[in-house]
Structure 1
Amino acid sequence: MFYLLLAIICSGSIALVFKVSEMKNCNRYLVTTINYLTAFIISSVVFFSSELTLPSSLDGLWSATAGNFGGNLTPLGSIGASIVLGIITGLLFFVSFIIYQKSISECGASLSGMFSKMGILIPMIFSIFIWNEIPSAIKWLGIILSFASIVIVNVNPANIKESAFRPILLILCVLYGTADFMNKVFQKYALVEYKNLFLLIVFLSATIFSLSLLVKNRDKGINLFGCFIGLCAGIPNMFASFFLIDSLKSLEAAVVYPMYSAGGVVFIMAMSYILFKERLTKKELFAAGLTIVSMVIINL
């Protein structure tokens, strides 16, 4: 649970930094690119300071990966899995960002936020049916409460009828859920020693994809403050994935993902109140209370 709490804090911190970015009207493409670049640099430092033996043959790398993916991979296979899964995850991060921005413009921030968070259903369901990670009855109660808090804090009854079933929301949900699922796939099959390589590839890929979008929107301006905001976002971004993978080693995915999502919402609300003096509505306070209760229940 300690690693999960750290992942929640890091995840919430990213949102708070991006909140500052929007308040200051920063170039979101610049902020996103610097964010991924910073995460890539940090993961590179962590990776190259570790002692890992890289393969001498790409053919051997692929055969080791393909031949061992039915269970825990060998060191050579783990490197292959780190590269393949890292590229896929980086692409998913990038595409999710594009779809999220489009979804906000079409459906509003509330519904877009809820459906992106509901993507946690994907790693939950797959973990239950593929790896038989079935939580206990008491943990199911905590999971249900955490889902309820996500819905309560994001749903606006006034616009749900006209926006809830637009295809882009379903696409957003699937993209975010699949990106999260990649962390679970890596944790399940690859050796934990290669986590830093996996994250390095994830953020390298996301940086490259984001750079293409930044170049396309270079007319929106590049400034030092935007770079600084991106730097501040990149640090917790890298460690959110770092600690999330660690938490998946000791807790069921069906427990980790709802807590990760709902806990992040509570952290953001609490820090927004402290830092930005934002008043919390009764709905938000109720959702926060549900999340806290769910976390207590899950730890029983």
Structure 2
Amino acid sequence: MYLLLSILCSTLIFIVFKTIDRLQISTLHTIVINYVTACGLGMILNTQPITIKNTIQADWFLGALFLGFLFISIFFVMARTAQTHGVSVASVASKMSVIIPVIFGIIVYNEGTGKQKIAGIILALFAVYWTSLKKNTNLKSKRSLTLPFILFLGSGIIDTSIKYLETYYVPENGIPMFSATIFFIAGSLGFIYLLIKNQWRFTLRNLFSGLILGVINYGSIYFLLKALNHETFESSTLFTINNVGVVMLSTLSALLLFQEDLSKKNWIGISLAIISILLVTLA
């Protein structure tokens, strides 16, 4: 259930970004308010005493500081990649990063590497690529690969770091505060950026879109952490299912909600995604 909810929330993030772009709502302001909202949710759900001293002295604080910086940075890189190269390139770059936490899980946590699981993971990479591929996807120069590569690397490091911190430093009852701290750091950095750019004025539309995105964004991280905390799946299995599931649901949502055309390659990708999930899960 936690895994399914994480997939749903992650998919809704793409839908919200697509919607606010069509409504011409500021993406930058929405992202900043989103992190403030997510931070507030984490504090509301937290059952432990909240003090600055306890937070700073927590074993996971330095990791949360690092993740907060990555969260806001990679969100901006994702937006920039989508604007310059297209949504399909941004989607491929972010979701292909599943290979980083998968390899990390196999090496560091000694997770299983049976033939069926490896086959499923390889199929998952092809599935993500084929599902996201569009006719206008074109990267001509080495320089144009810079943003997609940063997005690929950053997304993989985020997933890997979340799993590592959850495994060794974050107690189960500490997940809400851990999440809130990450979002607080990301939101604070976002506000500083807006102040430097003199773009600190918010409209009601920005506030409303940020509020909605914040609830969804918090859910995606919270439910992913809860799923990782469960013993049902190894992290390599869970990240594979999560990323492929998001690509599948996002593609189908684009078809139904935004009437985007799906090519034969896209349908092949969806079929491979289903097969890869079955292989990895049953392994």
TM range (shorter): 0.7 to 0.9
Task: Find the aligned partners of 1:137 and 1:255 in 2 and give their Cα distance.
Answer: 13
Say which of 155, 158, 161 aligns to 1:176. 155
Q: Paired residue for 1:124?
A: 102
2-structure distance, mates of 1:116, 1:212 = 26
- The residue aligned with 1:254 is 236
Measure the CA separation in 2 of the matches of 1:4 and 1:171. Answer: 26
Deviation by residue 1:109-139 (Cα, 9 ceiling, x = unmatched)? 3323212222222222222111212243323
Structure 2: distance between partners of 1:102 and 1:17: 16
Q: Which residue, out of 271, 275, 278, partners 2:253?
A: 271
Counterpart of 1:70?
none
Q: Conserved in 2, the CA contact under 8 Å of 1:107 and 1:163? A: no
Letter in 2 for 1:199: S
Q: Which residue of 1 aligns with 2:190?
A: 210
- For the Cα contact (< 8 Å) 2:139–2:145, is it kept in 1? no
1:81-160 aligned at under 5 Å gives the runs: 81=60, 83-155=61-133, 159-160=138-139
> Cα offset for 1:9?
0.6
State which of 147, 166, 191 in structure 2 corresponds to 1:187: 166
- Using the aligned pairs only, state the percent identity: 26
Aligned 8 A contact 2:133 2:266 in 1:
no
Residue from 166, 187, 193 that aligns with 2:145: 166
Distance 2:19 2:242 in 1: 22
| Deviates most, 180-189 or 289-298 | 289-298
Q: 1:162 is paired with a residue of what secondary structure?
A: coil
Closer, same or farther: CA 156–53 of 1 in aligned 2, 3 Å: closer
- Residue range with higher mean Cα deviation, 157-166 or 221-230: 157-166
Gaps of 5+ in 2: none
Structure 2 length-normalised TM? 0.87
Cα offset, 1:172, TM superposition: 2.0
Unaligned stretches of 5+ residues in structure 1: 62-78
Give a deviation string over 1:121-164, Cα, whole Å, max 9, x none.
22222221112122433232222222111111234576245369
Is 2:19 aligned against 1:20? yes
CA shift in 2, pair 1:277/1:58, >3 Å: closer
Query: Do the aligned partners of residues 43 and 4 (structure 1) sit closer, same or farther apart at CA in structure 2, a change above 3 Å counting?
Result: same
Per the alignment, residue 65 of structure 1 pairs with none
> Normalising to structure 1: TM-score of the pair?
0.83
Higher deviation after alignment, 106-115 or 216-225:
216-225
The alpha-carbon deviation at position 274 of structure 1 amounts to 2.7
Instruction: Tell me which amino acid in the other structure corresponds to 1:284.
Output: N
8 A Cα contact 1:146 1:294, kept in partner? yes
Aligned residue type for 1:209: L
1:53-99 deviation per Cα after TM superposition (whole angstroms, max 9, x unaligned):
9797899x4xxxxxxxxxxxxxxxxx221x22111111001111222
Give, in whole Å, the separation in 2 of the partners of 1:147 and 1:58: 38
Quote the Cα distance in structure 2 between the aligned partners of 1:216 and 1:28.
17
Q: CA deviation at 1:103?
A: 3.1
CA distance in 1, matches of 2:65, 2:7: 24
Distance 2:33 2:177 in 1: 20
1:74 corresponds to? none
2:177 to 193, 197, 209: 197
Structure 1 residues 28-43: aligned runs within 5 Å: 28-43=27-42
Q: Is the Cα–Cα contact under 8 Å of residues 122 and 181 in structure 1 kept in the other structure?
A: yes
More divergent stretch after superposition (196-205 vs 173-182): 173-182
Letter of the aligned partner of 2:189 in structure 1? F
Please give the root-mean-square deviation of Cα atoms over the aligned residues, in Å. Answer: 2.6
- What letter corresponds to residue 265 of structure 1 in structure 2? V
Amino acid at match of 2:247: V
Q: Taking structure 1 as reference, are residues 135 and 252 closer, same or farther at Cα in structure 2, changes over 3 Å only?
A: farther
